[in-house]
Amino acid sequence: MRIANEIQRGRVRRIVNLTKHEITIGNIIVPPSGKVIRCKENKLLSEIVEYEGKEIEVYEYEYREVKSIPEREDGTIYLTSYPVAKILCRDDIYCMGEVVRDESGRILGAMCLSKF
């Protein structure tokens, strides 16, 4: 794990979850806000691979155009999906970082947050 040269510290008064699912970060549970932000997705067939005599389609996904972006609010951070956070690249937009999964591979929560 790499540590930044200077770790910033900030106080957050409010976390707004802009996904449709409850998000658990460590021992903090953030319920959905009721407002969901998504981006447009463009799916492009890029290749077809063959395995054991059967064809498997491989797609590239291009994410773009996010609508209904909230205005910045002092002391507030927004939780979004990874593609939305990557497109917006704002210092108040976060997504889940290192995820924790159950035995079936379902996401239970995250150990930390991530941003771009």
| Tens-digit pLDDT string for the chain (116 aa) | 666 667 777 789 999 999 999 999 989 999 999 999 998 888 999 999 999 999 999 999 888 888 888 899 999 999 999 999 999 989 999 999 999 999 999 888 899 999 98
End-to-end CA distance of the chain: 17
Enter the pTM of the model.
Answer: 0.77
